[in-house]
């Protein structure tokens, strides 16, 4: 069982597979925390492990979030 480096919540199997496409290091961030950097990084993940609980949040220009 691993936890998010930013908020300490338990990571799903899908979240555990996300890693940098450049360095190969795992991000170890939950979807909520990863959503803040998603557009700024190159990453690989196992889409086949994604389920309904792994949906990303949308963050608008004002920093507010909405679930997809």
Query: Is 33 part of a structural domain of the chain?
Result: yes
Report residues of the chain scoring pLDDT below 50.
63-68
DSSP, res 36: T
- pLDDT at site 36: 92
DSSP output for 24-67:
--B----HHHHTTTGGGS-EE--GGG--GGGPPEEE-TTS-EEE
Q: Is residue 57 part of a domain?
A: no
**Region label for 55, one of left (φ > 0), alpha (ψ between -120 and 50) or beta (otherwise):** beta
The pLDDT, as a whole number, for residue 68 is: 40
| pLDDT reported for residue 55 | 63
Provide the pLDDT for residue 67. 43
Considering the domain boundaries, does residue 58 fall inside one? no
User: Which tens digits make up the pLDDT trace of 37-55?
Assistant: 988 999 888 877 777 666 6
As beta bridge partners, residue 10 has 3
Residue 39 counted as domain residue: yes
């Amino acid at each position: 069982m691993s936890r998010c480096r930013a908020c300490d919540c338990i990571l799903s199997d899908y979240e555990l597979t996300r890693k940098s496409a450049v360095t190969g290091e795992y991000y170890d961030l939950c979807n909520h925390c990863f959503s803040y950097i998603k557009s700024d990084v190159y990453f690989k993940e196992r889409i086949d492990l994604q389920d309904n609980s792994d949906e990303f949040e949308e963050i608008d220009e004002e920093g507010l979030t909405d679930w997809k």
